Structure 1
Amino acid sequence: MRPRRLRAVTAPAAVSLAVSLSVAAAFPAAAAATPSAAWSGAEAQRAQLRQLARKLVAAGAPGVIVRVDDGRGRPVEIAEQAPWSRRDHLLRAGDEFRMGSNTKTMMATIVLQLVAEGRLALTDPVEKWLPGKVPGGKAITLRMLLNHTSGLFDYTEDAALRPSILGRDRRRWTSAKLLAVGAKHDPLFAPGTKWSYSNTNYAAIGAVLERVTGAGLDDLVRDRIARPLGLRHTYYATGPTWRGPHARGYEPDAAHMPPGVPAGFRHVAGTRRHGHVDVSGNDPGWGGAAGAVVSTARDWSRFHTALMSGRLLPAAQLAQMRTTVPVDPGRPDGPGSGLGIQTGTTPCGTFWGHDGGIPGYLSTNVTDRTGGRTATVLISTELWSEFGSDPKIAKAAAALQSAVICTMFGKPAAHAG
């Protein structure tokens, strides 16, 4: 981790291997889909995804959950895990999972709901709501926070966060405290002039939401998203406690950590298990509005469908969410960053979504433009993605993710063999 782990699915490859909450093998790098003799309908599809999930486990992932709904029938749901991890918990497709930076999509949705209600405007300067709390706050708008063009330094890059990220410091981080960590650093560039993924943007968004509504982020997620949609396993974590059956997340212990992981990140807190550390009891609160939501593959599919079909936002605000800026200035037609959501194009289709990474939990959730198709890949280990330190897992994850996105679009994926 360069502890940037609350990161974006459409980030360039160099950034992809560095994140938040993130996925080292991002979808934009997905292999071209080619017709395969093995492609013979839904069962062949399902068998191929299960084979690729098993290959990812064989490559070193303690567990993986896959869910794909192509909008044409019964969704594919797969849960595979390493034999040694079964002693701790039998992984199921409906298990709760720490979603990391996918949280940003929900936070942006709540902001846009308040915009529709006339309580906020995307053109509002941060200074209006958080006077004196953000450097250059008069020139930074809420839109810039939401699409990562503010220039604010990423608080997860500050050494003060490392003990919390590694589970060694259980202090409770508030939006204000996380914002203060990022705000004490010089801005990276003038507001609105470039794009740079920064979790500090969403710490600020969290503080604005709390100020405007007078409610906690946990209440806002519950009342504006989870309850209206019937998401029984989706909540903003206010501590390390889970509410339902959940996936166990693991990282290698110090002796088994890949050599590419720096010394400062090799000792993760948790219970030792078969050369790994069970990090399930660590507090994700340092992710705040940038990454503290817990959900399931099924719940997130329902959320994406409601969001992209217009159930959660009026048409004008949904259009604002989908208005993007280039992630890479050298590729103006490449991956784009919208408001709490990213988009990218693969040979099988153009997706919208986000990903997230927090120790023990790597998640990617994508959908099509209408919400009629959804897909999720959840991997129960994450540090390998931060430094690109495990080529075997990275290769297996890329193959699975390529197949998943093609399956979502109802197209044959490259041969799994």
Structure 2
Amino acid sequence: MSLSPHHAPPRPRARSHRFRAASAPLLAVALIAGTAGAAAPPAAAASPSAPPVAVPPAPGDTGRQRYATLDRLARNLVEAGAPGVVVRVADGRGRPVEIVRQAPWAARDRRLAATDEFRMGSNTKTLMAALVLLLEAEGALSLSDPVERWLPGEVPGGASITLRMLLDHTSGLYDYTRDPALIPSILGKDDRRWTSRDLLALGVRHAPLFPPGTRWSYSNTGYAAVGALLERVTGASPAELVRDRIARPLGLEHTYFATDGRWRGRHAHGYEPDAAHMPDAVPEEFRDVAGARRGTHVDVSANDPGWGGAAGAVVSTARDWARFTSALLSGALLPAAQMTELRRTVPMDPERPQGPGAGPGIETGDTPCGTVWAHDGGMTGYSSLNAADRAGSRSAVVLVPTEFRFEFAADPELMAAHEALVTAAVCAMHGRPVPGAASVHAGAALGSGDGFGA
């Protein structure tokens, strides 16, 4: 299942193989100047599924222009082949912008709405890291604890791997989503109920990539271990912890850890091309996805996301996630000491020590429009990108109900349209216009990872 060297340093702007349990930190928030400012093709084929919400700009502000750019680029993404897209941007000054665009064929199947529940993939890791930090604040554990203390005998070399290394991807553990045994679950053809320990065992049966703490490499196995140790420390399941320690206290009514393929509310339908229409770049073993046929696509909404586990099984909405991000980054959820831990990062690329950094369940980097703290996610049928400023007062969410064409870098046109939209969303979040092509170097991205990201 290894499509590229998982331990290679992140490559600016490259789409990573990310859907495996959620999403490798591709945060190719890839703010390549000019992409968002390019001329747009006609948008007649894009069908709005909900009226956009316009934000009245302040006097002399370019808010209207930024909104128009977001709307145009959302239409472009659909024109490029996305089934739909939900964009939510809050610049900290007034009512957030919410834009929904959808391909006509997908709208006939199920109308997409800004409030739809969505499989958040690897954004789950931010929730899991928050839970660990909350437990640390209560004295139940420490980020410096060796994994062996909590999971004796379950992780080879666990005496040298700390909880922090699990959270910031410096453990060296092989990514379980690269194991071929998981492919049937990824495709929706295996209803096996994977536990955290099952997924952990799948990962550690492979040799580690490097000695603990010596490098950075995205690993869903680290978060499978986090799920297992959360159960050990608290006696509660990740689903119960998300409900009781995060969702209920913050009033997140549509955020939960999925324990099967069922949804709790109105939800976005996710799609992948059927086998006959899957792009050639998608490997043969991933071309036949299970689900209900919808023309040239397959509806994967009912597929069980359990293979994502503590690395990628959470469901949420654009609004809920923005609220969670605000609480997390503002310090409303965590004490000051844990906020310091949250913001302590390691370089994702050893050749760029001042470049993109990874912390506990979150990544940070500079973009042409400002610094972001973010994560993204990929799950069969669902791609998501969540970004915010350091204080959590500004946020951007981009949700696209498809994944494989991103995962395998199989559709350059779709990828370019997505990068343009994310660029514009992050710039709008910061209250700035999208830079022109001449003002930004093509390498100014947050970075990317390798491996299906749960």
Q: Is the 8 A contact 2:122 2:375 kept in 1?
A: yes
Matched, 1:64 2:65: no
1:285 aligns with 2:306: yes
1:230-379 to structure 2, matched below 5 A, reads 230-379=251-400
Work out whether residues 26 and 376 of structure 2, in 8 Å CA contact, stay in contact via their aligned partners in 1.
no
After TM superposition, give the deviation of residue 17 of structure 1 in Å. Answer: 2.5
Higher relative contact order (CA 8 A, sep 6+): 2
After superposition, give the CA deviation of every residue in 1:273-313 in whole Å (9 maximum; x if it has no partner). Answer: 12000000000000000000000000000000000111110
1:19 paired residue number: 18
Kept in 1, the 8 Å contact 2:62–2:433? The answer is no
Matched, 1:382 2:383: no
Aligned counterparts of 2:395 and 2:3: Cα–Cα separation in 1? 28
CA contact (8 A) 2:13 2:30 kept: no
Shift in alpha-carbon separation, 1:277–1:168, aligned structure 2, 3 A? same
Q: Confirm or deny that 1:217 pairs with 2:238.
A: yes
Distance 1:22 1:175, change over 3 A: closer
Cα distance in 2 for partners of 1:336, 1:231 equals: 28
Q: Given the alignment of the two structures, is residue 188 of structure 1 paired with residue 209 of structure 2, yes or no?
A: yes
Q: Could you tell me how far apart the structure 2 residues matched to 1:270 and 1:346 are?
A: 38
Distance in 1 (CA, whole Å) between partners of 2:301 and 2:385 is 19
TM-score by length of 1: 0.95
CA contact (8 A) 1:3 1:386 kept: no
Distance in structure 1 (CA, Å) of the matches to 2:25 and 2:313? 20
| Corresponding residue for residue 29 of structure 1 | 30
| Partner AA of 2:326 in structure 1 | T
Corresponding residue SS for 2:171? coil
Which residue of 1 is the match for residue 444 of structure 2? none
Are 2:403 and 1:403 aligned? Answer: no
SS in structure 2 at match of 1:277: strand
Query: Counterpart in 1 of 2:173?
Result: 152
> Matched residues in 2 for 1:23 and 1:175: separation?
18
- C-alpha distance in structure 1 between counterparts of 2:16 and 2:230, whole Å: 31
53-62 vs 27-36, which moves further: 27-36
| 2:448 counterpart residue number | none
CA contact 2:23–2:123 (8 Å) conserved in 1: no
Deviations 1:170-229 (A, max 9, x none): 110000000000011111111111111000000000000000000011110001110001
Deviation digits for residues 35-85 of structure 1 (CA, Å, limit 9, x no counterpart): 98x996323222211110010001000010000000011101011110001
Alignment match of 1:107 (pick from 128, 138, 141): 128
Alignment-derived partner of residue 42 in structure 2: none
Task: Give the root-mean-square deviation of aligned CA atoms.
Answer: 2.3
Cα distance between partner residues in 2 of 1:35 and 1:138: 48
> Following the alignment from structure 2 to structure 1, what is the Cα–Cα distance between the partners of residues 35 and 431?
13
Tell me: CA distance 1:195–1:206, structure 2 relative to 1, closer, same or farther (3 Å).
same
Percentage of identical aligned residues: 63
Count of residue pairs brought into register by the alignment? 412
The Cα offsets for residues 115-173 of structure 1, whole Å up to 9 and x where unpaired, read as 00000011111110101000101100001000001000000000010100110101100
In the TM superposition, residue 32 of structure 1 has moved relative to its aligned partner by: 3.2
Matched residue type, 1:146: L
Q: 5+ unaligned residues in a row in structure 1: which ranges?
A: none
Instruction: Report the AA paired with residue 394 of structure 1.
Output: M
SS at structure 2 position matched to 1:395: helix
Partner amino acid, structure 1, of 2:17: A
2:106 equivalent among 85, 93, 97: 85
Give the C-alpha shift of residue 410 in structure 1. Answer: 0.2
- In 2, the alpha carbon distance for the partners of 1:198 and 1:24 equals 10
Deviation at 1:89, TM superposition (A): 1.0
Name the residue aligned to 2:64. Answer: 43
Is contact 2:368–2:435 with CA below 8 Å preserved after alignment? no
Residue aligning to 2:143: 122
Residue aligned with 2:397, SS = strand
Paired AA for residue 18 in structure 2:
V
1:412 aligns with one of 433, 436, 452: 433
Unaligned regions of 5+ residues in structure 2, if any? 40-59, 438-454
- What do residues 362-402 of structure 1 show as CA deviations (whole Å, max 9, x unaligned)? 00001000001011000111001121110110110011011
Matched to 1:275, the amino acid is T
Q: What TM-score does the superposition give when structure 2 sets the normalisation length?
A: 0.87
Does the CA contact (< 8 Å) of 1:33 and 1:406 recur in 2? no
1:18 maps to amino acid: H
Contact 2:25/2:375 (CA < 8 Å) preserved in 1? no
Higher helix share: 1
CA contact (8 A) 2:36 2:69 kept: no
Deviation at residue 25 of structure 1 after TM alignment: 7.4
Match among 219, 230, 233 for residue 198 of structure 1: 219
Task: Report if the CA contact (8 A) 1:32-1:414 is conserved.
Answer: yes
Within 2, Cα distance between the matches of 1:34 and 1:359? 26
